[in-house]
Amino acid sequence: MRRLRRPLEQSRSESEPQARTRLPVRGRRARGVATTAAALALALTASGCVTVHGELELLPPATREEAARALAEFTAAYNRADKKHDPALAAGRVTGPFGAINQAGLRARAVTAPGGNPNHLPLELTDARFALPRKAGWPRWFLADADSNRDVDEGSADNRWLLTFVRNGPDQPWEVAHLVILGTDTVPEFAEEGGYAVPVTAGGGEGALAVAPKDLGARYVAFLKDGEQGPLAAGPHTTRWRADRLKAAKRPGLATQYLDQVADQGDFAPLGLRTKDGGALVLFATRYFERQTAAQGYRPKVAPEVKALMTGEVSRTVTKEWVSDQAALVKPAGADRDGVVVLGRLQGVVAAEGS
């Protein structure tokens, strides 16, 4: 199914005539300083003590004050965009899977409610905790774990918003790439070294995991296709979701097919932090297509927000493209069972096509 339409200075030879190599006193002094500085820089670089622009040195992504400012700037942009249903107002503060979901949702609502959001409730993110992993080079990132005012209804669960902020260079803004919403009791405790969070490399790094972050998307996609659980624990975002899909596929008069794909390039890349138990919390994304075909003489129903993103005309078939963002708790390698527990999922339609 097709997809719907990142010099060395050359020294003089000692054999040259003295008249050609001799410099005025001022020039000789300047040259001597430059030579000494160059030699010192070379020696320090060889010893690993000096780096250029932080490409090799492990550095924190931000101070806690800078992280708090990035969270506040995101929240302000999010609220401006939500109030006016204008994706451009949030475009500079979102990216990756969450950016795709957010921008598509705003584009759809700009069509279904072009006057703006009459029920706009400003998002408030409070009691923020920041996990700041040190790393070399770019991009850099951190995680914000905050309480929101979106679960204020009586009887609703108390949830936490986990947002990963990504920055691709020193002159780039902080943008939210991943967002998942977890129950307060579900958020794990993160490991620390020297007061900083400990990142997990794509391959898992030292202290191997049941599944390396770079492989999570592929294992998840394979399970949704074939039902081979492997290390995936049963739950609402694995076995139950697959069962719901199988049930939907057999609905009378409407056939539904699914095609899942890994989404791990650029700002869609998985991001993980070590937990105190030796495992890791990993946020990773997938993309899937949901194709509904109605029986002859019928048309599948299309929700207004999906129709707003649609190209083509619906005759018998509608294909929806979804982006799905997951948070998984991955146990250390050697876990007897349930090595990967998918804790939460945020998904949204980003495109649709009728035929």
Tens-digit pLDDT profile for residues 252-308: 899 999 999 999 999 999 999 999 999 999 999 999 999 999 999 899 999 999 999
Rounded to whole angstroms, what are the CA distances from 139 to 117, 165, 169, 330? 34, 10, 6, 23
What angle in degrees, to the nearest 10, is found between the helix axes of 239-249 and 213-226?
Answer: 40
User: Residue 340: enclosing H or E segment and its boundaries?
Assistant: strand 340-354
- Reported pTM: 0.83
> Is the bond leading into 139 cis (omega within 30 degrees of zero)?
yes
- For residue 40, pLDDT beyond 90: no
* 219-257 confidence digits (pLDDT tens): 999 999 999 889 999 999 999 999 999 999 988 899 999
Mean pLDDT of the chain: 86
pLDDT at 4: 60
Check residue 156 and give its pLDDT: 63
Which are the contacts of 215, defined by CB distance < 8 A and separation ≥ 6? Answer: none
Q: Compute CA distances 234 → 182, 230, 238, 241, 323, whole Å.
A: 17, 10, 6, 10, 22
pLDDT at 166 over 50: yes
Question: What is the tens place of the pLDDT at every residue in 19-28?
Answer: 333 333 334 4
pLDDT-derived band at 153 (thresholds 50, 70, 90) equals low
> Contact, 164 vs 283, CB < 8 A?
yes
pLDDT at 77: 98
Handedness of CA 70, 72, 77, 78 (dihedral sign): positive
pLDDT tens, position by position, 103-114: 999 999 999 999
